[in-house]
Structure 1
Amino acid sequence: MPKNPRIAVASLAAGAVLLSGCSGPDAAEDDGRPLVLTTFTVLADIAQNVAGEHLRVESITKPGAEIHGYEPTPGDIRDAADADLILDNGLNLEVWFRQFVETIDVPHVVVSNDVDVIDITGDAYAGTPNPHAWMSPANAQLYVDSMATAFADLDPEHADDYAANADAYKADLQQVQDDLVAALADLPEHQRALVTCEGAFSYLARDAGLTEAYIWPVNAEQQATPQQIAQVIEFVDDNDVPAVFCESTVSDKPMQQVVEATDAEFGGVLYVDSLSEADGPVPTYLDLIRHDADTIVAGLTG
C-alpha cells in the first residue's frame, strides 16, 4: 500500500547527524546464540516468548519510546549489522526502518504479513494501513506464528521448541481475547465504543465488537485541532459513551477537554507502542494487553 507523506519521519542520515552522541540499544554480551533484533519492545517480548532460551532477542528502541518518530542512531546500525535476523512490524509503522535495513545485509521478516489489514480512515490517509495490528490479541497470534516459522528457518535444530513455545503463548493470548469479549457482552449496543487519543485500537475494537473513535489518526499528528475535539465530543454525546481513554506516550489534555464537555469519565491510560521498564506497569506484552483490556472493560462497564 502507498506510504502517506504525513507519516514519514526524518531520514536515517538526519538521525545519524542529530543523534551521533547516543548509543544504540543495550546489547547483552554475545553468548554464542543467534541474535534476533526487533524494531520495538513489544515485538521483542513476543519474540522472546517464542524463542525461549535458544535465541538472544533485543529491541532497537528502548522501553517507553515513541516508535512512530524514532530516529535510528549509528549505534543501532552497528547492532543491526551483527544480527542474524531482524523482525519488524511493517504496515508503515517503522518508516525509518526502510532506509535502516537497506544499509545492512541481514535477513528480516515482517511479522504482520498475515494480518487482515484495516486502513486508516480519512481522505489524507487513503490506502494507508493502520499499523497497530498487535493491539488485537487475535492478531498477535499471527505474529507469533510468523516468528516461530522464522526462528525454525534460522535454527532448525530447535524448531519443535519454537512451535511448542508458540502454542503455549498463543493460548495465553486467546484467553485475553476471550475474557475481553465476554466482559463486554452485556454492554448496550450504543455504548459499545472505544474513544482514544490516537486511532491505535482499530484491530482491538474490531475483534471485540466495539466502534472506534479517536482525536487524531496517528501520533505523528498529536496536535489536536478544535474540529477533531468537537467531533469526538459529538460522538461521545450521541452514543452516551461512559468513558474515554488516552495513550501513555502522549498528553491527555485534548481528551480531558472531551471529558469536561461531556458526561464521560476519563477511563485511564492505555499502552500501545512500547513496554515499560521491568518495574513499571507493563513490562511484558501480556501485561500490556491485559492492562488495556481490563482498563477498557472497567471504564465502559463501570
Structure 2
Amino acid sequence: MRRLFAFAFLLSFLVGCNSGENPSTSNASDSQDSGKELTYPIQAAATVGMVADLIKNVGGDHVNVTQIMGSGVDPHMHKATRDDVQTIMNADIVFYSGLMLEGKMADTLIKVSRNKPVYAVTELIDEKTLLEPDDFDGHYDPHVWMDVAAWSECVDAVQTALSNFNPTHAKDYQENAKAYKQQLENLHQYGLKIVKSIPEESRILVTSHDAFNYFGRAYGLNVQGVQGISTESEAGLKRINELVNMLVNKNIKAVFVESSVSKKNITALIDGAKAQGHDIIIGGELFSDAMGEPDTYEGTYIGMLDHNFTTVTRALGGTAPERGMQDKLSH
C-alpha cells in the first residue's frame, strides 16, 4: 500500500468515538456508542471549501460546518494555526480531503483522530481513478475535485461517515447524497458538452501549477502547469522557456491564472511570448485549490467548476453561456 493511502487509512482507523460538547441550537439529541449525548446541529470541521461543500449538501440542516481554510488559501502551504486547532477540537466530527493535499496539517489531524472521528473524503475512490504523476514522488495527485465524476464518489464517503456517526438521520443523509450526486452528474455533462466546442487544436490549458490534470483527463484538454503538483515546487527557467515555445508554436492565445497561486509565473510566460512576437492574454482566473468567496455562487463546488468550465471554454474559442450552466456566474 502506498504511503499516501496508508496515511488516509491511518486516520480512518485511529478515530475515536468522542462527540463534542458544543452548545445545541435545539433540544434534539442522539445516542452514540460512547454513551455521550449528541446535540444538533452536529458540529463538523472541514479543511477546504470543496470538502465543506460536500458536508453541507449531505448533512443538510442536521450539520453545521466550519471551514478551516478560506477562499484564496493554498492548502499545500497551510499550517494549522491556534484557531484552526481550536476549530477542530470543538468539532464533533472532522473531514479533510486527503491524498496529502493538507500535508502540513497531517500531525494535527492524526492527533485529533485519537479522540474523535476524522475522515478523508477521498478514501473510497478507486485507486485506478487516481493519477500518479512521475514528478510527485510516488504519491497520487490530490486534485480529484477537478473531475466531477470522480469527486462525486466522495459523496458516498461523507454519507457513510455521517450515517454511522448519527444513525437517527441516516435516511436524510442518504436522500441528500442521492440528490446532490444528480446535481453533480448534470455539472459533469455540462463540462463534457461545452469543452467539446473548443477547436481541437486549441484544447491546451496552461495554468500556474499542475492542479488541472484530472480536469484535462476528464474533459479532453492538454493541461500544462508552470509549477508541479504542489505550489511548493519552484518553476525553473527551463520549464518557462519550454512553455513559451509551445505557446508560440501552437499559436495559443490565452493562459490562465489561479485564485490561490501567485501570478508571477504566468506573467513570465506572457512576457516571454511577447518577446517572440506572439501576444497572449490572461483568459481568466480559475479556481484550483480554493473556491470563490463565501455566500457567492462561485463559493460553492458546483459554482467553482461551472466557472472553470465556462471560463476555459470561452477563452479558448469554444461556445458557452456567458453566465454559465445555471446563469448564475457573477463574471
Q: TM-score range by the shorter chain?
A: 0.7 to 0.9
- Say if 2:167 is the partner of 1:151: no
Unaligned stretches of 5+ in structure 1?
4-27
The one-letter code sitting in structure 1 at the alignment partner of 2:232 is E
Which position in structure 1 is the counterpart of 2:241? 230
Which position in structure 1 is the counterpart of 2:145? 134
Which position in structure 2 is the counterpart of 1:174? 185
Which position in structure 1 is the counterpart of 2:46? 38
Which position in structure 2 is the counterpart of 1:243? 254
User: Does structure 2 retain, via aligned residues, the 8 Å contact 1:190–1:240?
Assistant: no
Q: Identity of paired residues, percent?
A: 29
- Say if 2:221 is the partner of 1:213: no
Unaligned stretches of 5+ in structure 2?
5-21, 26-38, 319-331
SS in 2 for 1:274: coil
Rounded to whole Å, the distance in 1 between the matches of 2:224 and 2:23 is: 45
User: Does structure 2 retain, via aligned residues, the 8 Å contact 1:44–1:57?
Assistant: yes
Rounded to whole Å, the distance in 1 between the matches of 2:290 and 2:141 is: 17
The one-letter code sitting in structure 1 at the alignment partner of 2:131 is I
Which position in structure 1 is the counterpart of 2:117? 107
Of the three residues 59, 70, 77, the one matched with 2:78 is 70
SS in 1 for 2:65: strand
Q: CA deviation at 1:269?
A: 0.3
- Report the count of equivalent residues: 276
- Say if 2:66 is the partner of 1:58: yes
Which position in structure 2 is the counterpart of 1:118? 131
User: Does structure 2 retain, via aligned residues, the 8 Å contact 1:111–1:147?
Assistant: yes
SS in 2 for 1:221: coil
Which position in structure 2 is the counterpart of 1:297? 313
TM-score, structure 1 as length reference:
0.84
User: Does structure 2 retain, via aligned residues, the 8 Å contact 1:37–1:59?
Assistant: yes
Rounded to whole Å, the distance in 2 between the matches of 1:51 and 1:121 is: 37
Output aligned runs, 1:19-30, within 5 Å. Answer: 30=24
Please say which of residues 201-210 and 29-38 is displaced more in the overlay.
29-38
Q: Which has the larger radius of gyration?
A: 2
Q: CA deviation at 1:91?
A: 0.8
Q: CA deviation at 1:126?
A: 3.1
TM-score, structure 2 as length reference:
0.77
Output aligned runs, 1:171-210, within 5 Å. Answer: 171-210=182-221
Output aligned runs, 1:256-295, within 5 Å. Answer: 256-260=267-271, 261=273, 262-278=278-294, 282-295=298-311
Q: CA deviation at 1:80?
A: 1.7
Question: Deviation digits for residues 179-223 of structure 1, max 9, x if unmatched?
Answer: 111112243433222211110011111110111111001353364
Rounded to whole Å, the distance in 1 between the matches of 2:244 and 2:88 is: 45
Q: CA deviation at 1:250?
A: 2.0
Rounded to whole Å, the distance in 1 between the matches of 2:77 and 2:120 is: 19
SS in 1 for 2:231: helix
